[in-house]
């Protein structure tokens, strides 16, 4: 057992492991330790920028779910943009679940939006489901506000996948876009540019959102396929 694994096991909560394993069916229970997220974040803060952390980031694949999440939280603190891209791309092929995928968001990405955008376009064309999901997550985080452009919606609409966790994030993306870029997103839904499953799931997420007006919720319900 590595020193980082020892640290994680020292924070183990068996009841939490039982609970969390039900939320992440793609990860076997024996590949989970059972460590709550605040404890993993605290460990990331403790070891960030140390030789121990650097060795850990360069040792792939990891054995446990919590190690993968720790890896994601360590990436958040990478200060150089090119280094963050390089380390993220090295890690993406090893991601095997939505929870780990959704933890990764290096803050430095905001410092080079044009270069990030070009990288996202590459990730969206990958064959690995969680690389695609990560790309959609990055569009949702960085490109639905001041960095929005018309192509953003097109990029996500054009994704063709049978993967549940890819299409779920696409629906989540369009529901968020409906809240932030209402008029242009509404056109996509009105013109039925999405596949049926993602279209209907988007509408469901919109009707569940407090950020969508009751008037728009009623309108969207009429568009269900």
In the chain, % of residues over pLDDT 90: 96
pLDDT in tens, 107-136: 999 999 999 999 999 999 999 999 999 999
What is the model's pTM?
0.95
Q: Annotate 89-102 with DSSP letters as a single string.
A: HHHGGG--SHHHHT
Q: What is the pLDDT of residue 119?
A: 98
Question: Has residue 25 got a pLDDT over 90?
Answer: no
Q: What is the pLDDT of residue 26?
A: 84
What gap in Å lies between CA 94 and CA 117, rounded to an integer? Answer: 22
pLDDT in tens, 51-99: 999 999 999 999 999 999 999 999 998 999 999 999 999 999 999 999 9
pLDDT-derived band at 170 (thresholds 50, 70, 90) equals: very high
H or E element at residue 129: helix 129-142
| 152, 143 Cβ separation under 8 angstroms | yes
- Here the tokens at position 165 are 């966790």
- Here the tokens at position 12 are 């183990």
Question: Which of 144, 141, 88 lies closest to 119 in space, CA to CA?
Answer: 88
- Terminal CA-to-CA distance of the chain, rounded, Å? 52
pLDDT in tens, 177-204: 999 999 999 999 999 999 999 999 999 9
Question: Which of 154, 160, 168 lies closest to 198 in space, CA to CA?
Answer: 168
Q: What is the pLDDT of residue 1?
A: 78
φ/ψ region of 33 (left if φ > 0, alpha if ψ in -120 to 50, else beta) reads alpha
Q: Please compute the mean of the pLDDT values over residues 18-39 and round it to a whole number.
A: 93
């Amino acid at each position: 057992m590595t020193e980082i694994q020892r640290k994680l096991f020292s924070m183990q909560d068996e009841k939490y492991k039982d609970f969390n394993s039900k939320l992440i069916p793609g990860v076997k229970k024996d590949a989970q330790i059972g460590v709550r997220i605040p404890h993993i974040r605290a460990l990331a803060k403790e070891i960030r920028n140390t030789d121990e952390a650097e060795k850990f980031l360069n040792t792939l694949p990891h054995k446990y779910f919590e190690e993968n999440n720790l890896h994601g939280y360590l990436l958040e603190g990478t200060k150089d943009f090119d280094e963050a891209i390089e380390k993220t791309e090295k890690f993406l092929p090893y991601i095997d679940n939505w929870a780990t995928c959704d933890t990764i968001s290096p803050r430095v990405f905001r410092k080079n939006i044009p270069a990030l955008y070009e990288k996202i376009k590459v990730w969206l064309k990958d064959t690995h489901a969680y690389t695609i999901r990560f790309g959609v997550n990055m569009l949702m985080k960085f490109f639905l506000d001041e960095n929005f452009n018309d192509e953003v919606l097109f990029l996500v609409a054009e994704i063709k996948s049978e993967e549940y966790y890819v299409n779920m994030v696409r629906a989540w993306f369009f529901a968020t876009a409906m809240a932030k870029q209402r008029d242009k997103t509404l056109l996509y839904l009105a013109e039925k540019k999405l596949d049926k499953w993602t279209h209907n799931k988007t509408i469901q997420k919109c009707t569940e959102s407090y950020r969508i007006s009751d008037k728009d919720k009623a309108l969207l319900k009429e568009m269900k396929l």
